[in-house]
Amino acid sequence: MTKPRGAGDDPPVALIVAGPTASGKSALALDLARRIRGTIINADSMQVYRELRILTARPMQAEEAELPHALYGVRSAAEPGSAAWWRDAALVAMAGAAAHGEVPILCGGTGLYFNSLINGLSPIPPVTPEARKEARALLKQLGPTALHARLTDVDPITAARLRPTDSQRLARAWEVWRSSSRGLAAWQAEPGEAPPWTFRAILLAPPRDVLRPAIEGRFAAMLATGALDEVRALLELGLGPTLPAMRAHGVPELAAHLWGEITLEEATRRATLATGQYAKRQATWFRHHALAPTDHTHTIHARYASLTQFSERNLGSLLNFIETLA
């Protein structure tokens, strides 16, 4: 199959493979890349960190070597990623794929990343070093709940959208307000600039009773393949607890076990519970946000494992949709 092209001056086409965690996105993207000569571009905010291959379920080294992959394991856990950084890097990777006659296949479950790419980013100004330092100090001194209360006083609209326990986003909202004297929600309301691409999307939306055992089975496999050692090595770096990589699913729970605070069984229970709750939030996000126009979106209400294990009905509809990319 040839790479998707626009007609005349129409923009080129990029394929999105999205869905909640453990829905089979990576396996589907890999199979599709084999069929349509694709470059798989990471759209997962945790798979960008090189120290977390196992716990973030990054593609295996053999898979990355078989077909072009981009933006996997490209940042240190000490360097927090952002939607703005990812969008710029993804657009470069997409252009590179197109230049080599390959289909950009954006694979992941981070809704904020997809939204930033498809709709553009609001013109939020850079934060000042002083504001960033103050936000981190307040978070350390007061804790997230008290910082949330302070944010409510100065930026109630943003505060209403954030959970009082969400340390990272609370600090971000505070530093934006301190830097610009304007709330983050007000900045986000300003439109961004859409890129010159046409997006088509495959959304995996398996039911919760299918995802739950998949999450549990995957975490057991992670433990069997070295997840504890991965967290141990991460802790040895001495990184701050609020960094995104330190809050990846499984890291806080396995860290608590390594510190002797909880059993491995309890750590497993907590990690799979947190992952299941996250998958639910992801599914909710995808229900309310369009990744592509309706006629350019194909939804599969099943978990993907492989083409050979897919139902005949799902496989037929999927392949028909993929044929429209050519």
Mean pLDDT (the chain) is 91
Count Cβ neighbours within 10 Å for each residue of 229-264 and write b for 16 or more, e otherwise.
Answer: ebbeebeeeeeeebbbbbebbbbbbbbbbbeeebee
SS3 content of the chain, % helix, strand, coil (to 5): 55, 10, 35
- Domain ranges in the chain are 13-121+192-323, 129-188
Q: Confirm whether 13-121+192-323 and 129-188 share one CATH topology.
A: no
- 302-318 pLDDT, tens per residue? 999 887 777 777 777 88
pLDDT digits (tens, 9 = 90+) for 79-105: 999 898 999 999 999 999 999 999 999
pLDDT in tens, 13-32: 999 999 999 999 999 999 99
Laid out side by side, the sheet with 198-204 consists of 69-70, 38-42, 103-108, 13-18, 198-204, 297-300
According to the model, what pLDDT value does residue 127 have?
Answer: 87
Task: Indicate the pTM of the whole model.
Answer: 0.82
Helix or strand or coil: residue 279? helix
* 129-188 carries CATH number 1.10.20.140: yes
Tell me, what's the pLDDT at 9?
A: 63
Q: What is the pLDDT of residue 239?
A: 94
CATH architecture, domain defined by 13-121+192-323: 3-Layer(aba) Sandwich (3.40)
For residues 258-277, average pLDDT: 98
